[in-house]
């Protein structure tokens, strides 16, 4: 990853369900996107969902 893209990021080790990762990998190929992008989008959506619930 380019230095400018790596700044402000931290690596995390996650253990995820194999079927979920397989499906996510297929989505990444279908959408021509990196898995990291898809995971970040999903986390943002999840945080927004719960933030909206707390209002």
Beta carbons within 8 Å of 39's beta carbon, 6+ residues apart: 24
pLDDT in tens, 4-53: 567 888 998 989 999 999 999 999 999 999 999 999 999 999 999 999 88
pLDDT of residue 1: 45
Q: Which two tokens stand for residue 40?
A: 């970040």
Q: Are 25 and 37 in contact (CB under 8 A)?
A: no
């Amino acid at each position: 990853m380019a230095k400018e893209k790596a700044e402000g990021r931290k690596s995390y080790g996650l253990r995820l369900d194999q079927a979920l990762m397989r499906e996510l990998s297929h989505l990444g190929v279908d959408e021509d996107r990196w898995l990291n992008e898809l995971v970040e989008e999903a986390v943002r959506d999840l945080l927004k969902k719960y933030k909206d619930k707390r209002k």
